[in-house]
Amino acid sequence: MPQISHNELINTVEKAFEAMGLRPGERAEAAEAIGWLERHGLDGIAELVKALDHMPAEAHGQLEERYRDGGLRVFSAGGQSILSAGGVAVDAVLSMARRHGLATVRIENCHNRALIAGFLTRSVYQKTGVLACWSNRHQSRLHLVWHSGLDRFPTLRVQERPRAATADQSLTLIASRALDLQPNLPPDSDTHRLIYAADPDTMQQAETQALTQGLTVSDEAWDRIKHIARGVLVDDGLD
C-alpha cells in the first residue's frame, strides 16, 4: 500500500473534486476536510470512497432552504453527499450563533454525514461550540461530533441507539457561544453502548504519526482517486 503525504492527498482529492464538477471554494474545503479526517485517524479516504457514489450529480446542486425562523434553519441536500455543502452548512450555524443563544441547522436528505467532522474545525476561529449529530437507520447508531470551539480537536462518539426506527437521512448542527454543548456521554464503563470513541489525545497522536510517517492508503482507493483527478488534465499534444 503506498505511503502518501497529507499535501499529496489534499491536492489529488481537490483535483478529483474539480474533475467531478465541484465549485472552486467547495472543492478546496471538501479536500481539506478529507485530509483532516485522514490525518487524524478518522478514515477520510474510506469515507471519500463511499461518498464518490453520491457525488456525480453534485456539480450543480446546492442546499435548498425549507424553513427559517430565528435561530433555526432547515435545508434539503437533495440526496447528495455532505461534502460539497458541509462548509456552508457549518458557516450558517456558526453565523447564526453570533446572534442567537442557540443556533440550529438541520440538513435533510444528505449522505456521507461522517465527513462533517472535517468541517467543524473552523469553529475554533469563531470560538463557538458546535455539536453535529445524526442517526444511522441501518446500524441503529447515533453519531455525535462535539467541538468546543476552544481546542484544536473535537470529540467523537458513536453509540447504540434503540430508537433507530425513527432515524432519517438528516444531519443536525447545533452551535452556541454561551452554552456548553458537550453531549451527555455514557460512562466509560458502559461499554455496551459506546461503539466508537475518538478524543483529542487520540487525534493528536494520529496527527504526529501522519507527519512523521506519512499516510497509508490502499492501492485501490488511491488509484481510483488519481484516475478521477486526471480528468482535470489537458492533453495538448505539445510534448
Residue 194 pairs with which residues in a beta bridge? 159
Q: Which of residues 69-88 bind other proteins (CB under 8 A)?
A: 84, 87-88
Written as nine digits, the cell of 203 is 487525534
Stretch that binds other proteins, among 133-141, 153-161, 177-185, 230-238 (CB under 8 A): 230-238
Query: Among 43, 49, 50, 62, which residue interacts with other proteins (rule: CB under 8 A)?
Result: 62
The string of DSSP codes covering 18-47 is: HHTT--HHHHHHHHHHHHHHHHTTS-HHHH
Q: At closest approach, how far in Å is the CB of 91 from other proteins?
A: 4
Nearest to 91 by CA among 75, 108, 109: 75
Rounded distance between C-alpha atoms, residue 130 and residue 197, angstroms: 17
Instruction: Tell me how far CA of residue 76 lies from CA of 68, 110, 135, 155, 222, in angstroms.
Output: 12, 7, 16, 26, 31
Contact segment (CB under 8 A) with other proteins among 165-173, 179-187, 205-213, 219-227 equals 205-213
Number of residues that bind other proteins (CB under 8 A): 40
Q: Residue 178 interacts with other proteins (CB under 8 A)? A: no
83 within 8 A of 33, measured Cβ to Cβ:
yes
Q: Identify the residue among 53, 65, 199, 220 touching other proteins (CB under 8 A).
A: 65
Q: What angle do CA 222, 203, 205 make, to 5 degrees?
A: 95
Q: Based on the shown chain and the rule CB under 8 A, indicate whether residue 55 belongs to the binding site for other proteins.
A: no
As given in the structure block, the three cell numbers for residue 11 are: 491536492
Q: Does 95 bind other proteins (CB under 8 A)?
A: yes
If one asks whether residue 4 binds other proteins (CB under 8 A), the answer comes out as: yes
Residue 101 within binding range of other proteins, rule CB under 8 A: no
**Minimum distance between the CB of residue 194 and other proteins, rounded to whole angstroms?**
31
Site for other proteins, residues 121 to 150, rule: CB under 8 A: 122, 125-126
Regarding 8 and contact with other proteins (CB under 8 A), the answer is yes
